[in-house]
Structure 1
């Protein structure tokens, strides 16, 4: 089979839907993050107040708490699409309302609206993750993960850098937020016409069943604890290497402009390319071999930072090479990791189980920062990145130890 044939998995309506819902997931994020900070700054608010606004993103962290509601109570026109549409229409209304207010004059109201955007967006994410998992066939999981990440990243550019450029050149903030609201409303129309997953799984009969049964069902499986350990450990190497990367490059003498170009532009492109390559290779390799190969690659390519530390002086060729290999491998690893999460979900409880598993998968990215700071202080930068490579070993060993179980997941 020619390599181009492996890309054929991308050419169907289900994968197109996965890309657009990825875009829907990513669009609101910057509107409660970097773009919101720019709005507040232009309104003349002080840095302390802006700092408090960073807390509006908390619903993304705690969304698993209300995820059982989405398993228990379906909303027409589909079990997942109904929730997605309702959240998108609510998001459009709240984002448009934010555009019509001056945060300096309506600070408390603006804070509540920003919190609502984060809450509705996090709830939409629960439905989107469940929908994507139930929609695609098992051989399409890698492709769905790749196009989902691509759509998500494009949406973040739209509501992040795109919104900043529009507000500075073409529109004011009011018009920019109204445009973002209109885009979200259009996404609700797309959701309405998206395909419905073909599944015979019945929803939980009670809220108690929706809360208790997902855990009970998961831990009844063979190797459940090792699978959870794998979910946590698989991206740990990347979490350590990326936790202080900007500080590291500044210490090595690289300018902020070069760091931004390397990480935010070149690195983003490499991550997206890696995601699509990973999805194509997953068709040939299967889930187990993909997790194993990509896990080894994403750990080893973190050694590029070690070479930068050893160079002793800024070397732009070395920097871009290191970023390229690291993000290519990281993109492939992310595709395999998302496919693993999708394969672990029972269709009856997809919303709850995916929300819980994805929270565990984010554990390293969220919590290794403090430990990384202490390790750098004790080891120095070069040895720290040797440690980051070693941090990938447990995840690879768990993949190998669970190979029979992972192969079973790949055919279900």
Structure 2
């Protein structure tokens, strides 16, 4: 969700003369961005598990789909040279809409796995284009005052999109599977294809409707002052951005921070969801899709948003340097809730929900420290936007790599053993937090 629509858009910003009212396109634009990202990186874990994949396969494939979002800073500048930002937003949403409908049709095939994964990979790269150019419209269609004014709307809309997928869509599949098609909600296998077909057909229709809406109401977006005019120029600028990035004082420690601050969360993310869904016999909690969606995407999301607000106020009051280590504690120590749940295996829905709420609340508090550190320490310089994007890409790389191996490790260790491993994986986060350099001075 970073504004990396150009190699550096800090010097942008020339709003178009007749900009549509932001409330007509900012909420829908960021809502639509969240639909694609969360269906690929979060709901896909549950879908793959529903369809009968092992934990290793479900976590590995879903995590790998985040690759396009990790490497998008490498091709962001090239999109600046052609057409308008709105053109790419509309084209990406139309292609995604067709792609999701294609996934629904592919699930009807006897051997649906390969075409489904291929379509997901295509959608992931097209989705990253949507992210880049939607951010670009936001940055270049409004002045700095408007950008700040609608930042809260932007964030809220993205979280509503996340809620629609990880809550609404997952709950819908569980309801259809159990109450419409009459299947056992706790048994995985190909019987789940019918419910997910409907979900993807609906998602495709929503994406096409969003394209139609944005065709009418989204502004074109203007170009950055330093937009490259050729592939050679764009490549040279990208290379210079890389060179200056590695010339920063203390850069290797800052890279270590970007990679390691959320290391334990990267290991925790997919297995914690699979743990909620897995059977009691396998060490899980046997939640249905409906129960899972309600806990994670309603209670958990609300807790995370509240935690993020508190974390922001805390940093504003204490300053990042003093606040960083407590924020590191907040993002890591509450992971122990999953260890306790795996030992107890409670049948109480309220107790399970409480565990998730606690973990998500403190994750919201702690994650603020990561983003502000990148903004204040890693990003400043000649290519502020590009270097911030590199930092978030490193975080994405950590999440992708840890996610890809997490399922294999969990199957080898069992849930309790694996959650002990997750707690051990918090150690590098504390070390890098303690060593993180502060070369930029901020009030």
TM-score of the two chains, using structure 1 as the length reference: 0.68
The match for 1:297 is 330
The match for 2:268 is 241
The alignment's C-alpha RMSD in Å is 5.1
Once residues 58 and 109 of structure 1 are traced to their aligned partners in structure 2, the CA distance between those partners, rounded to angstroms, is 16
The match for 1:28 is 36
Once residues 241 and 166 of structure 2 are traced to their aligned partners in structure 1, the CA distance between those partners, rounded to angstroms, is 36
Specify which of 157, 176, 180 is matched with residue 207 of structure 2. Answer: 180
The match for 1:122 is 128
Indicate if the aligned counterparts of 1:25 and 1:125 stay in contact, CA closer than 8 A: yes
Count matched residues: 377
Task: Quickly say closer, same or farther: Cα 1:28–1:364, change in 2 above 3 A.
Answer: closer
Specify which of 353, 363, 380 is matched with residue 330 of structure 1. Answer: 363
Once residues 410 and 42 of structure 2 are traced to their aligned partners in structure 1, the CA distance between those partners, rounded to angstroms, is 29
Q: Any gaps of 5 or more consecutive residues in structure 1? A: 1-12, 40-44
SS of match in other structure, 2:248: coil
Indicate if the aligned counterparts of 1:56 and 1:118 stay in contact, CA closer than 8 A: no
SS of match in other structure, 1:214: helix
How do 1:108-257 and structure 2 match up within 5 A?
116-128=122-134, 150-158=156-164, 177-187=204-214, 191-192=218-219, 206-249=233-276, 250=278, 251=280, 252=283, 254-257=285-288
SS of match in other structure, 1:304: helix
Once residues 130 and 207 of structure 1 are traced to their aligned partners in structure 2, the CA distance between those partners, rounded to angstroms, is 16
The match for 2:396 is 362
Offset at residue 229 of structure 1 (A): 0.4
Q: Any gaps of 5 or more consecutive residues in structure 2? A: 1-20, 181-197
SS of match in other structure, 1:303: helix
The structure that is helix-richer by fraction is 1
Indicate if the aligned counterparts of 2:167 and 2:298 stay in contact, CA closer than 8 A: no
CA-to-aligned-CA distance 1:297-352 (integer Å, 9 cap, x gap): 11111122233244365454442222111101112233332333444336764665
SS of match in other structure, 1:221: coil
Specify which of 317, 321, 342 is matched with residue 284 of structure 1. Answer: 317
Q: 388-397 or 125-134, which moves further after superposition? A: 125-134
The match for 1:398 is 432
The match for 1:103 is 105
TM-score of the two chains, using structure 2 as the length reference: 0.64
SS of match in other structure, 2:319: helix
Once residues 255 and 148 of structure 1 are traced to their aligned partners in structure 2, the CA distance between those partners, rounded to angstroms, is 35
Indicate if the aligned counterparts of 1:237 and 1:299 stay in contact, CA closer than 8 A: yes
Specify which of 303, 306, 310 is matched with residue 270 of structure 1. Answer: 303
